[in-house]
Structure 1
Amino acid sequence: MLPILLLLLQLSLLSPSSAADFCVGDPSLPTSPLGTFSCKKESAVTATDFIFSGSLATPGNVSNLLKAAVSPAFSSQFPGLNGLGLSLARLDIDVDGVIPLHTHPAASELLLVTQGSILAGFISTSNAVYCETLNQGDLMVFPQGLLHFQVACGDSPAVALASFSSPSPGLQITSIALFGNSLPSELVEKVTFLDDAQVKKLKKVLGGTG
């Protein structure tokens, strides 16, 4: 009985109660099993804890393989979001740039295009594809956990704001998960139906070994 009581006490310290107005995260304290930060003492909370003066107004560095950048305002960058069930990120996609197929295991995503045009889409669990070109002012939603992507269209860079239904949405990029790891090439070939040359080429590009 005592271990159960101790576990309940720990969980109550790690997450905001229903009576609490907020739970500003304290990264110096342990996180809960769900990944939320422990609450900062309310007496130590100030107005600045609810303000993010980060990089969302500044274009991200798109000098990379993807020609794209994501500038996050998640709970790890903005502890005031802790426990509130939302977060935000800025997407910068250069001409011919791409945010490749990926998932957010812990959140749905709402994308607002603020500059340029983006070809965006997602794939359902029945393998139906929902894809559309978005222009400035357009919104698209990506349901939680589903594979989705964004590609810049036209001859100018694109910018978008992505909001999430979690302060820590999580991220897994499909190509990196497959080819940026230490799984033996033979095993990757078996599970992807690709030949040895293709797998080794992708592993070299994405930093994988084996």
Structure 2
Amino acid sequence: MAFKLDLLLTLGLAFATLYISVAGDADILSDFIVPPNLNGIDGNFFTFTGMRVLLNGDFPTTFKVLKASMAEFPALNGQSVSYAVLEYPAGSVNPPHTHPRAAELLFLLNGNLEVGFVDTTNKLYTQTLQQGDMFVFPKGLIHYQYNNDTKNGAIAVSAFGSANAGTASIPGSVFNTSIDSGILAKSFKTDVATIQKIKAGFGAKA
């Protein structure tokens, strides 16, 4: 009986290790994946034009992200890559968030950014980036970017090692959902009135 338990434990650990080692986008068995509703594709399928608005559009007044992920660009399905262009008006912030399925490599094209992430020991790593700098946010860790310049905007490009990296906004996930205010008050060691005030700022029901 003990031998069987040891064997099951060993197999379980081996399976868990194997799963972790291959976690991420699954490998595909073809050159690319065509959505089932498409018959006959050409170069248009592999072209994304959604970033053209950056060339002629006005700079936004609030933080803005333009994504080229699998949702916007179906040809990325199975290719384990996606991009985003991030525009930071003066004084704006990309609030703390995570990408559960990919690391993020950010390249600052213009301006300055204060960036940081928190590891699983709650240690904060920060840096002030200048134009031309790159910074990596490890997969799944909470991170943010802040343009502390009160006069000038900033633009960055982010690459992800997944066609669908996912984004979980910490403030939105906590305060713009239906998590009970009493539970949040206990979790944040405050009172329900404070939690309800924060929720109201997100337009959430108290």
Q: Same fold (TM over 0.5)?
A: yes
Quick one: which of 157, 160, 178 aligns to 1:161? 157
Structure having greater relative contact order (Cα 8 Å, sep ≥ 6): 2
Whether the 8 Å contact between 2:28 and 2:78 is mirrored in structure 1 is no
Superposition deviation, residue 77 in structure 1: 0.6
Whether the 8 Å contact between 1:56 and 1:90 is mirrored in structure 2 is no
Whether the 8 Å contact between 2:59 and 2:89 is mirrored in structure 1 is no
Which deviations, in whole Å up to 9, do the C-alpha atoms of 1:30-64 show, x marking residues without a partner?
A: xxxxxxxxxx55xx12111111111365168744x
Instruction: Tell me whether 1:112 sits opposite 2:107 in the alignment.
Output: yes
TM-score normalised over the length of structure 1: 0.79
Q: 1:56 to 1:114 in 2, by over 3 A?
A: farther
Superposition deviation, residue 24 in structure 1: 3.5
2:145 aligned counterpart, secondary structure = strand
Whether the 8 Å contact between 1:122 and 1:146 is mirrored in structure 2 is yes
C-alpha separation between the residues in 2 aligned to 1:144 and 1:60? Answer: 32
Q: 1:185 to 1:167 in 2, by over 3 A?
A: same
Partner in structure 2 of residue 195 of structure 1: 191
Superposition deviation, residue 22 in structure 1: 1.2
Partner in structure 1 of residue 31 of structure 2: 21
1:80 aligned counterpart, secondary structure = helix
* Larger Rg computed on CA atoms: 2
Superposition deviation, residue 16 in structure 1: 6.9
Whether the 8 Å contact between 1:96 and 1:151 is mirrored in structure 2 is yes
Q: 1:62 to 1:188 in 2, by over 3 A?
A: farther
Large movers: runs of 4+ above 3 Å = 59-63
AA partner of residue 65 (structure 2) = V
C-alpha separation between the residues in 2 aligned to 1:190 and 1:60? Answer: 44
Quick one: which of 44, 51, 55 aligns to 2:47? 51
Whether the 8 Å contact between 1:102 and 1:171 is mirrored in structure 2 is yes
Partner in structure 2 of residue 179 of structure 1: 175
Partner in structure 2 of residue 96 of structure 1: 91
Q: 1:60 to 1:164 in 2, by over 3 A?
A: farther
1:153 aligned counterpart, secondary structure = coil
C-alpha separation between the residues in 1 aligned to 2:98 and 2:58? Answer: 21
Superposition deviation, residue 195 in structure 1: 2.3
The number of residues matched between the two structures is: 178
AA partner of residue 148 (structure 1) = H
Gap regions ≥5 residues in structure 1: 1-14, 29-39
Across the aligned residues of Structure 1 and Structure 2, the Cα RMSD in angstroms comes to 1.9
Partner in structure 2 of residue 129 of structure 1: 124
C-alpha separation between the residues in 1 aligned to 2:53 and 2:197? Answer: 37
Whether the 8 Å contact between 1:62 and 1:68 is mirrored in structure 2 is yes
Deviates more, 1:177-186 or 1:71-80: 177-186
Which deviations, in whole Å up to 9, do the C-alpha atoms of 1:141-199 show, x marking residues without a partner?
A: 00110000000132200100011010111111001111101122111101221222321
AA partner of residue 168 (structure 1) = N
1:159 aligned counterpart, secondary structure = strand
